[in-house]
Structure formats: structure tokens, C-alpha cells
Amino acid sequence: MVYTSDLRIKNLLKEIHISIVDELKASNLQEMLHFRIFDNVSEDNVLWEDGGLTFKDPSTDLPLGSNDGAWYTIEDGKDVPLVVIEGTYGTERGQFGDGQMNRFSHPFAVAKLGFIGILLTPYVGESYVKDNGANECNNEYACMKYAYVRKIIVKSAIEISKAGPGLYLVVDAYEPEMLKRLVIEAIKSRMKKSNSFSKIRGEIMLKMENCAGTYNPEKRSLQFVSRVFDKDGREMADTVGRIYTHNYEALTTSTKRDGHGLLGKTLAQSELYPGKEIYSIFVRLTKEDMERLRGRHSKEFTYVLSGSASKAVCLDDLIFLDKDLEKRLRAILRQNLHKKSEKSLISKARDALVNNIIRINRKGNPITRQVGQRSLNDITS
Amino acid sequence: MEILHRNFGFKIVDGGRALGKMVEIDAREAFTLSLVHGSPYLINSVGFSLKGRMEVFIHRGVFQNNKYVYTPGLFGRKLDLSIGEGDSPYYICKRYPKLFKGKKYILFKEIGKDQLSNIERQVHDSLVSEECDPGSFLLFKIMEQESNLEPFFEYLCCKFFGAKGYFAEDQVPWFQQSYKGLTGGIPDVGAYKIPSLQELQRRDILPYGRLIQELSTIFIWSDTKQGENIESHSEVVLGEVKISKSQKLQALQQLERYAAVRLADKAYAVLHDERSPVKNCFGLIAINDDLMIELDEAKNALEVDNDLKKDDEVWLANYAKFYILANLSFEKISQFIDERRRVLGKSQKAQYRSYDLIESVVTCPMIDLLDFVEDKLECPSFGDV
């Protein structure tokens, strides 16, 4: 069966389209704007040039996630995207955290190709859960928690939009008028008619800025590694890292969809540090796991393991000066972290990476200033 | 076409050279078809399908500490998180009154494996050029790759169980994720006997259709047929649909997982081309050589946990109440919440949130809810419905 969240988004887009066409009649542009949408997800997965809703990232030529619908114009017989939408009601369906990253990659390539990619999602959702609801709804019938759109998504989208050539906008699914106005002004702009495209873009960007606030991943994330060291213990210039705790099972079980989220995270992360090299450090994957993942040829892993967004390294690519820490990490390779999160161990690993106790077995481009090596006990005590 | 004709008596008509053979149904049957199969009404160039619009709960209580895991859909949500007009039949009727009246025609279109399926505009425009009213047509796509056969079989099952006195649905609120270590997914079909709905029959306000969502259509299509009994015992039936018997193993694996919850009384594999029984504890629904839907009951009954079942009976009765309440306008639903809050000793609010709605409905006895709804029930005067 098709998930209802997808159906809801597609139904909403169709109604917005009809409303747009009605309004465009006043400026006689209704025949210029076309709309592409499918019932079947399998058709969303077809590349745009073949009639689908999937785009390739121009920097890697690799396809990213599919979208739910697109408005386009026809120029010289070719369908040229105008506004492409990926939508999700995840914040109303229990996606409080990383689950939201599953969709981040979908409009990414659209923006990188110079068009307008939209993530259509409720900025705030009431997500009903089985226990521990918010004060106003925590009774014997229902427990509700608020889920907010992840700031890393909004912040990265802002950076993508600033860098251009296209836009990556996050629009609230409960503000369909905003999306409608954007599409109308975008088509007027493309058709060189007088328009208020800048105004509506500014309104959406302002809302995104207000949402992202002063978000700083370095302060927020337990897994962000502010500096990394090469095999000779030299700090690598213009390089940061991020620890990923996915293991092979998490990345290959379809119900977990972690591969999807992983791709979203690595892309979002790369946009927050333009010009820096990023190491994606998989502390629960071995070389053998990496090879097996490569062999699966899935869209997500191909991108993460060979894309330009980051360099992927695994546990076997790390040099541990603290052998006990290595042993402890190896001991949780197959553990279900949903049952026991091992946050303090991951935090220790991060501190060890930042402080030259764990090194990456690569030759880096060193910076001139070098820091001394501290023991793990010094760091954590 | 033949399956629809033979099983439900739908009339096959000739639309001439331009339209070919079509199936003629009334607006009520069209509503059921669109809701389950997803066939869009061609009222505009992108089509309007009812599928997926009327959800209320994502999960079933038994998987969620007996909590109601709600989602907007049938009832709407505004930007400020308050509840509002949703996709209930009442509001769909307000937006598109045409859907609710007159004859409808199912237009069958084959789509080759190299063709894209978004043909709504093309078909809509061709109807206009033939001087037909596109709003009277539903588009039924037949994919060469058979990728859309599953919702068709779901539709057949819903109709089949509906005729046997069940209230059926295809968007089953049964998301079995890591329940007692088993992740089973979502069944394709659910059919329920809900004893508290006998009260609808007593009041002669049973809906015409027997989808659980059609409890929201009493305002326009209440059933005047006598003699259909809503039974006094509860029952939960699940079905897993696959497009051919080659996927029998997968269907059985999923049924095993649903059965392990020990809540369903019966479970069926829906394999249209299977002829032999599938397993002792699961029944089979197939299409026989005469194109008739055939049900083969399981030899053995499924094991049921009675405590769990008791909780689920309450959950199902409450689930049905939400659909009954959705026969009313949003203003009247707000009045209902006001009244319930008075009963519960709580103050009224200018705007209500989804949890206020949940509390008001689940604490309200079925009889009181029906008294309120019946009193306020009115067919909206949206033009010439």
C-alpha cells in the first residue's frame, strides 16, 4: 500500500495546482505552466529527463531521492523544472529527530541544478505517541509530543540557497498559499512578466531564518568532530569530521530506512561547512561492512561512499592510541543502539578524535600549528 | 469490467468509438471505488481521488499502550495547530458537490510498460473535446506491469466484506512495528463487526456503503434498506493482498506476523489466481473461473487473546465514533466539544486542538454521540446536490 503521508502530500499538491491555474488565467499564463505528478512512487523514481521526478546532483552525476511533484515550463521542446516539491508529514508521524533527514536529499539536486527545490512539511507537528506526552496531552487516551522541523535541515537549506544557483526552501505544509504564491510569481518571473518573486522568496527565507535561529551544529551535536588528525598525528587543514553510529544491519534493513537518513545527514553537513573537507567517520562499520555496502549499489550508499560531499572512513581506518577505547567500540559493532545508546562511549570517541588520540589512517594536508597529544583521562576527567 | 459486472451487478455500457466500453455506477458506488481503489474523478485536469484523505489514526491502540495515535486527515489542522475543516465527505461535498450526484462512468485506460501513468490531463481534455462532462467520469488505469492491481483487489475485498455485514477499509490502522519482537507492516484490508453500530440500524441511519469511512456519509446517503443486520458480536478480519500466487509465501509470512498479535479472528491471503487452500489457519480469497470472488475459510480458527480483544473492541467503537461525528460541519463539531467539556467539568476554548477532540469523542457514549449527530444532521445546501 502507499503510505498515507505521501498520498496526503500529492492530494494537496494537486489542489494547489488547480488553484494556481485558476489564478494564472488573469495573466494568461495558465498554458505556460505544466505540472508533473504520479500516483506511483516507482514513477517518481524515474529521472526527470525520462519523465520522472528524480534529479542528479551535478557535482557527482549521481541521482538523489525522488520528489512528489513538479511545476515546469517547456522550452525548445524540453521540460524545464521550475518548482519541485518533496513533501512529508513526518513531524506529525513521530519523526522527532534524525528520521526527518530521510527526505533532505530529495530537493537538494534540484537546487544545485539551478531550480527551486521545496521541502514541504509542517514546521511543527503534533505527533501522537504511546507515552510521555506534553503536559497538555498526557492522559489515559492520548499522549502527544511536539515535533519540530530539524534546524540542521533549515540551516543547510538556507546555505544552499545562499550559495545558489538554485533555491532550497522549506515551506510549511499548512501554508499552501505561500507555495501557491511562490509558483505563480516564479512562472511570471520566468516568463519575464512583472512579478513579486523576490518578495515571496524573502518571506519564505525570513521564516526559515527565524526557525534556524542561531543554530550551531558544533554546539548541538554529540557527533560533530571539530578537527581531525592524520596518521602521523598532524591536524588536517580545513577538515572537520562527523561520527556516524550506524552499523551494517541498521543500514540494510528496509524498515529502518537509515541509509536514506544517512545520505541526508552527510549532504546537510557538507553544506554547513562550505570549503571544508568532511570525514564521515563510521565507528561501527568495518572494512568488510563497507565492501558489502558498496556491493549493494544502492543509490544512498553509492553517494555516501563515493560522492564528493564527504570522505567516508570506517573503524578499520582509525588508528587508536587508546587500545581500550578501540576494544570497547569493537564490542558494540552489532549492538542495537536503540536499546542501549552508548552515548558516553561515542562522546569519548569524539573527544579522542578531536584530541589526537584517534587518528585517521590517511595522509592529510597538515596545518602549520600542531597541538600536543593529551591522554584520554586528561580529556574526560 | 466483467468482474465488477458479475460480482456487483454494475452495468457495462458502450461509450462509442471515442470512449469505448465503460462501467456505469451511481455516485455512491463511485465514492467507494475512489476511496479504496484511488480512481480519480476527472473533475479537473489532475483528477481528484478520495484515497488517503480520511485517516484518523495511524496506529491501533494495542500497539500503543491503548493510546489513540491521531493524524489530521478526516479532521483538518490549521497553521496554529488548532483543528479545522478537513477532508470529510461533508467538506468534500461542499467543495465538489458534483461528486455526490448523478451517474458516474468508469473509464478504463491501459498504460503500457514504457508509458508514464499521469494521463489525467490528456483524458480530461479528450472528454472535453468530445463534449462530455469530465466530472461524470472516473479514470481506472490498467497498468501493463500490473503495479496497480493491489488496490483493485483491496476494493473487491472491501465490497465483498461490506456485503457480509462488516465495515471494511484499506488504510488499516495497524502499523505493527517491533510488537513483541515482530514487525509485520500494515495489512491491506481490515473488516470489522462493531456491535455498538447496531444503534445506527435502530435509528435507520446506517450509511449506504460499508466502508468504515462511509460512516461519515450518513448526512447524504443514509441507507433505507431494511433487513441488513449489524451483528451483536465483534470481529476483526485482516487480509493481505498480493497480485499473484507467485507471492503466496510473502503473503503468508505477513499473515503469520499479524496472527501472532492474537487479535484478528480471521485472516485471509488474497491471491486472485490461487486455487488450493493456503494454510490451515488462514483463509483464501480468490477470483474463480467465472470471475466471481470466492472465499475459502480456514480449517482452524486463529488464536485470540481475549483481554487484548476487549481493549480493541473499545478502540474500534471509538474509531467508528470519529467517522460518525464527521457528518457534521466544523462549527457543529466545535459545539459538540463544547458540550462534552461541560459534561467533563472543563472550560470551553475559543479554538480546539486535536487532543480536545479525542477526549470529547472517546469519553462520549455512542448513544449520546448519535443523539447529538442525529439532531444536527443536515444535508448541506451546497447548490444543487
- Average pLDDT over every residue of A23-52: 93
Residues 6+ apart with CB under 8 A from A162: none
Rounded mean pLDDT, A253-259: 63
Return the residue of A nearest to B58 by Cα: A93
Q: Of B69, B140, B143, B257, which to mutate for an interface test with A (greatest number of A Cβ within 10 Å)?
A: B69
Long-range contacts of range A155-160, CB-CB < 8 Å, 24 or more positions apart? A155/A212, A155/A215, A155/A217, A155/A272, A156/A104, A156/A267, A156/A268, A156/A269, A156/A271, A156/A272, A157/A119, A157/A208, A158/A205, A158/A208, A158/A209, A158/A212, A159/A271, A159/A272, A159/A274, A160/A108, A160/A111, A160/A112, A160/A271
Residue A68 reports pLDDT greater than 50? yes
Grid coordinates representing B49? 481521488
- Pairing between β-strand A318-320 and β-strand A311-314 as defined by DSSP bridges: unpaired
pLDDT interval class at A311 (50, 70, 90): confident
Taking alpha carbons only, the member of B181, B177, B184 closest to residue B59 is B177
pLDDT the model gives residue A296 = 81
Q: Per the CB < 8 Å rule, is A172 touching B79?
A: yes
pLDDT higher at A73 or A258: A73
For cell 514504457, name the residue.
B114
Burial B8-27 (b: 16+ CB within 10 A, else e): bebeeeeeeeebeebbbbeb
Chain B touched by A333 (CB under 8 Å)? no
Using the predicted structure, report yes or no on whether residue A353 has a pLDDT greater than 60.
yes
Predicted confidence (pLDDT) at residue A371 exceeds the cutoff of 60: no
Indicate the residue type of B326: A
Chain B touched by A7 (CB under 8 Å): yes
* Identity of the residue in B44, B46, B188 whose CB atom sits nearest the CB atom of A1: B188
**How far is B78 from chain A, CA to nearest CA, in Å?**
6
For the cut 80, the answer to whether the pLDDT of residue A279 exceeds it is yes
> Are the Cβ atoms of B58 and A175 closer than 8 angstroms?
no
Q: Is the pLDDT of residue A38 over 60?
A: yes
Reply yes or no on whether the pLDDT at A355 is more than 80: yes
Q: Which residues of A touch B38 (CB under 8 A)?
A: 39
CB contact under 8 A, B53 and A11: yes
CA dihedral B70, B71, B77, B82 (to 10 degrees): 20
Q: Give B293's contacts (C-beta < 8 A, 6+ positions apart).
A: B3, B7, B156, B157, B160, B285, B286, B287
Is A178 part of the contact surface with chain B (CB cutoff 8 Å)? no
Cβ atoms of residues B351 and B330 within 8 Å: no
**What integer pLDDT is reported at residue A267 of this predicted model?**
86
- Between CA B55 and CA B170 the distance in angstroms is 11
CA distances from B307 to A141, B231, B263 (A): 18, 21, 9
Q: Tell me the nearest-neighbour CA distance from B280 into chain A, angstroms.
A: 26
Shortest Cα–Cα distance, A92 to chain B (Å)? 7
Which stretch of DSSP H or E encloses residue A353?
helix A343-354
* 3-state DSSP assignment of residue B9: coil
**Residue A379 binned pLDDT confidence (cut-offs 50, 70, 90):** very low
**In terms of C-beta density within 10 A (0-12 exposed, 13-18 middle, 19 or more buried), how is residue A73 classed?**
middle
Chain B nearest-CA residue for A46: B116
Q: How far apart are CA A257 and CA B177, in angstroms?
A: 14
Q: Where are the alpha helices (DSSP H) in chain B?
A: 2-8, 16-19, 27-36, 89-95, 120-129, 149-163, 198-202, 248-260, 306-325, 330-343, 354-362, 366-376
Pairing outcome for strands B11-14 and B21-26: antiparallel
Are residues A130 and B70, on separate chains, in Cβ contact within 8 Å?
no
Give B378 to chain A, closest Cα distance, Å.
27
At residue A285, the 3 state secondary structure works out as coil
Mean pLDDT of A282-286: 94
Average pLDDT over residues A99-108: 90
C-alpha cell recorded at residue B166? 462488516
* pTM assigned to the model: 0.91
**Exposure string for A247-279, b = 16+ CB within 10 A, e = fewer:** bbebbbeeebebbbbbbbbbbbbbbbbeeebbb
Which residues of chain B have a pLDDT value below 50? 383-385
Stretch A128-152: mean pLDDT, rounded?
A: 92
Q: Where are the alpha helices (DSSP H) in A82-230?
A: 108-112, 151-163, 176-190, 197-212, 217-220
Give yes or no for a contact between A71 and A120, defined as CB atoms under 8 angstroms apart. Answer: no
Q: Is A182 on the interface with B (CB under 8 A)?
A: no
Give the percent of chain A with pLDDT over 70: 92
CB-CB contact of A63 with A47 (8 Å): yes
Ranges assigned E (strand) in B8-91: 11-14, 21-26, 76-77, 83-84
Helix (H) or strand (E) holding A72: strand A69-75
Q: Report the SS3 class of residue A331.
A: helix
Assign A240 to helix, strand or coil: strand
pLDDT the model gives residue B78: 97
Residue A259 has pLDDT above 80, yes or no: no
Write the CA distances from B94 to A8, A362, B28, B116, B384, integer angstroms: 19, 66, 16, 32, 11
* Residue in the block written with cell 496531552: A137
Residue A244 near chain B (CB below 8 Å): no
For A156-214, the pLDDT digits (tens) are: 999 999 999 999 999 999 999 999 999 999 999 999 999 999 999 999 999 999 999 98
Q: At what angle do helices B149-163 and B27-36 cross, to 10 degrees?
A: 130
B116-162 pLDDT tens trace: 899 999 999 999 999 999 999 999 999 887 777 899 999 999 999 99
Burial label, A289 (beta-carbon count in 10 A; 0-12, 13-18, 19+): buried
What is the Cα–Cα distance from A71 to A245, expressed in whole angstroms?
Answer: 38
> How many CB atoms neighbour CB A64 within 10 A?
27
Q: How far apart are CA B24 and CA A230, in angstroms?
A: 73
Find the radius of gyration of the CA atoms of chain A: 22
Q: Average pLDDT of chain A?
A: 88
Q: What is the pLDDT of residue A376?
A: 47
A167 to chain B, minimum CA–CA distance in Å? Answer: 24
Between chain A and chain B, how many beta carbons pairs sit less than 8 Å apart?
115
CB contact under 8 A, B118 and A36: yes
Mean pLDDT of A325-346: 86
| Complex confidence, ipTM | 0.93
Which pLDDT score, from 0 to 100, does residue B383 have? 47
Tell whether A368 is within 8 A of chain B (Cβ). no
